[in-house]
């Protein structure tokens, strides 16, 4: 009997090892200059890539993914069709196995959009469209809930896919380049009080992150992806001041470069001691 029990224990250990589970959710904010690219790695090693920077940053994203030992992208999300978000995605599709791709349902008159559609076609990759109230069950304890867009508009930014990622006791809000009209609709439709982690909309532009929205979200951590001394003046000072007034910890790629966060579902932390002036 003892030998049978011992054998069963060995089998269970073997099965658990085969799950290849890591201990934390990881969120990688990739420094692509004036643009967005974010890699999320789940506890069961699923990879979610949100945007891919512009055409000049395609190899930056490719190298970063390779450095993280990414071979397969389970979910590729193009938040909207501006070139600083999708310009590098055709290169990613050409060089990685992509299981599924999601984007808002509209066409865009740009080379970046044409290249992305061609890359999907060449790889026989079917495009999925996301709208408000759609849900993706990523894995146990991880749910992706789409909050916007409600409908397609002429302004590309207003078509941005906004979603909340829930992992146990923590919530993460990713906003693309969504602007104030999107934020008002989200506030009126969903309970987004006390979000733990916010990817600040539109690189810290004052057209996003309205007072009403920040009051509702009240994030503990905010991340801004923007280029060093960019021509748009992102992030705008009033956004930084509003976040500071809420005692939100602000992390910026234009100052810090690549930034990585970890969460076990109860806390969110970084392994680096980032110290800088957020109003710089």
Superfamily for the 20-269 domain:
Ribonuclease Z/Hydroxyacylglutathione hydrolase-like (3.60.15.10)
Following DSSP, what letter does each residue of 179-217 receive, concatenated? Answer: -HHHHHHHHHHS--TT-SEEE-GGGG-TTSS-HHHHHHH
Question: Per-residue confidence of the chain (280 residues) as pLDDT tens digits?
Answer: 544 433 333 333 334 444 445 579 999 999 999 999 999 999 999 999 999 999 998 899 999 999 999 999 999 999 999 999 999 999 999 999 999 999 999 999 999 999 999 999 999 999 999 999 999 999 999 999 999 999 999 999 999 999 999 999 999 999 999 999 999 999 999 999 989 999 999 999 999 999 999 999 999 999 999 999 999 999 999 999 999 999 999 999 999 999 999 999 999 999 887 654 343 3
**Six-digit token pair at 279?**
């109003």
Non-local (6+) Cβ contacts of 38 within 8 A are: 27, 28, 29, 30, 49, 50, 51, 174, 199, 225
The predicted structure's pLDDT at residue 165: 98
Q: Which long-range contacts (CB under 8 A, 24 or more apart) does 255-258 make?
A: 255/228, 255/280, 256/31, 257/31, 258/28, 258/29, 258/30, 258/31, 258/64
CA distance 13 to 122: 42
- E strands, 81-239, where? 97-98, 101-103, 127-129, 135-139, 142-148, 162-167, 170-174, 197-199, 221-224
pTM of the model: 0.90
Residue 170 is encoded by which pair of tokens? 């923590």
Residue 149: cis peptide before it, omega within 30 degrees of 0: yes
pLDDT (0 to 100) of residue 58: 83
> CA dist 228 to 82, 224, 235, 261, Å?
19, 12, 10, 21
The pLDDT assigned to 21 comes to 52
């Amino acid at each position: 009997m003892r030998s049978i029990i011992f054998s069963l224990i060995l089998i269970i250990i073997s099965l658990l090892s085969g799950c290849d589970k890591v201990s934390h959710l990881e969120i990688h904010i990739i420094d692509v200059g004036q643009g967005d690219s974010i890699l999320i790695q789940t506890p069961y090693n699923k990879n979610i890539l949100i945007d891919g920077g512009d055409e000049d940053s395609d190899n930056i994203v490719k190298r970063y993914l390779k450095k993280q030992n990414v071979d397969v992208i389970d979910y590729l999300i193009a938040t909207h069709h501006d070139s600083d978000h999708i310009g590098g995605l055709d290169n990613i599709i050409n060089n990685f196995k992509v299981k599924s791709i999601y984007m808002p349902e509209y066409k865009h008159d740009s080379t970046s959009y044409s290249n992305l559609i061609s890359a999907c076609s060449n790889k026989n990759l079917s495009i999925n469209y996301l709208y408000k109230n759609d849900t993706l069950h990523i894995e146990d304890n991880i749910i992706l809930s789409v909050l916007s867009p409600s409908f397609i508009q002429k302004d590309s930014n207003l078509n941005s896919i906004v979603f909340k990622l829930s992992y146990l006791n923590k919530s993460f809000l990713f906003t693309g380049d969504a602007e104030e009209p999107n934020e008002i609709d989200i506030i009126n439709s969903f309970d987004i009080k006390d979000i733990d982690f916010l990817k600040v909309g539109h690189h810290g532009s004052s057209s996003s992150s309205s007072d009403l929205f920040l009051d509702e979200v009240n994030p503990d951590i905010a991340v801004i992806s923007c280029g060093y001394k960019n021509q748009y003046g992102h992030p705008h000072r009033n956004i930084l001041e509003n976040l500071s007034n809420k005692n939100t910890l602000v992390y910026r790629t234009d100052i810090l470069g690549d930034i990585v966060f970890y969460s076990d579902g109860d806390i969110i932390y970084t392994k680096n001691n980032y110290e800088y002036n957020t109003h710089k």
